[in-house]
Amino acid sequence: MRAQWIVGRIVLLYQMPKTGSQTLEATLRRAPLPIPVLRTHFLSQQNIEALRAGLTCANTDSDWKQDAREQLTLICKLSRALRLRKFLLACGAPIPRILVISAVRDVFGTALSSIFENHRFLVPDLECLTAEKCGELLSHPPLCSQFHDWFDVELKANFAMDVYRVPFPTKTGHVILQNRLARTLVYRFDFLPRLRPFLERYLGHSIPSFVNVNLSRGKEYAQQYDKAKRLVCLSEEVVTRELESRLMRHFFSNQERTALAERWAGLEPVATG
């Protein structure tokens, strides 16, 4: 653990899975930024335990396990640095804010992408991930709830950042929150291609171009994933439940949720309020 993680300037890509964090990491490293860039999906104990549980799963491949071990090592060091940083701030130390970058994505897109990324935990082989099977998996509340709760379980719990305390500007797709510990940029995943000019102002550093990595079209499941995105159809009950969640109502306008309802189940416009 480096001293700069405790008392210096750092950028922390702290995002729920499947929201472009690897693309941002590669982009910022190529820029390159003059301060450390760290990336993690989790700091909460419950998500750390879930990651550890994956290491004991018989269906987990060696690459996934290696990546998980590296993540757990980073999380341990980062958690310790964060605790020390908070202690020093409480003592009045003049420590700069952490530059946190976080993201949100519509719950259906996040969950479906996650299903294919983690297919070894869910089905015997890729051929089993038919559109019908994907629809069945998406209909289970626990699969989507992990994304609904991410901001409370992770960002709010560890950085005292409540994304729901201020309106989210759905036309620009990003907002900045700030406290003594961190300055946090929250963006919506579908706005990532347009984020570069604002990201440059936020970081105070030029970013020549985005480096796209971990894209689905380069994965072994690319064709099946594309097919599922076209063919998965969910029940009205499931779609309404998800679109009426706090996360979706906060980050997406009524018009956008209407489009999502029509996409996933051919529903009429969702309720306003």
Encode pLDDT of 142-167 as tens digits: 788 889 999 999 999 999 999 999 99
Residues 138 and 60 in one domain: yes
Which residue in this structure is represented by tokens 């259906």? 108
CB of 112 closer than 8 Å to CB of 134: yes
Looking at the fold, whether 141 and 253 belong to one and the same domain comes out as: no
Residues 68 and 142 both lie in one domain: yes
DSSP string, 163-202: GGGS---TTTTEEEEE-SSEEEEEEEGGGGGG-HHHHHHH
Task: Assign 240 a pLDDT band (cuts: 50, 70, 90).
Answer: very high
Same domain, 185 and 99: yes
* Same domain flag for 225 and 207: yes
214 and 241 both lie in a single domain: no
Do 167 and 67 fall into the same domain? Answer: yes
Domain of 159, in residue numbers: 3-232
pLDDT given at position 56? 84
Q: Are 92 and 167 in a shared domain? A: yes
Query: Is it the case that residue 270 has pLDDT exceeding 50?
Result: no
User: Is the pTM for the entire model greater than 0.75?
Assistant: yes
| Residue 127 sits in the same domain as residue 176 | yes
At 51, the pLDDT band (50, 70, 90 cuts) reads confident
Tell me: pLDDT of 141 over 90. no
Over the stretch 98-123, which tens digit does the pLDDT of each residue have?
A: 999 999 999 999 999 999 988 888 88
Domain identity same for 58 and 175:
yes
pLDDT over threshold 90, residue 5: yes
Q: d(Cα 173, Cα 186) in Å, to the nearest integer?
A: 8
Question: Is pLDDT at 57 greater than 60 in this prediction?
Answer: yes
Residues 164 and 32 in one domain: yes
Indicate the number of domains in the chain.
Answer: 2
Average pLDDT of the residues in 243-261: 96
204 & 261 share domain = no
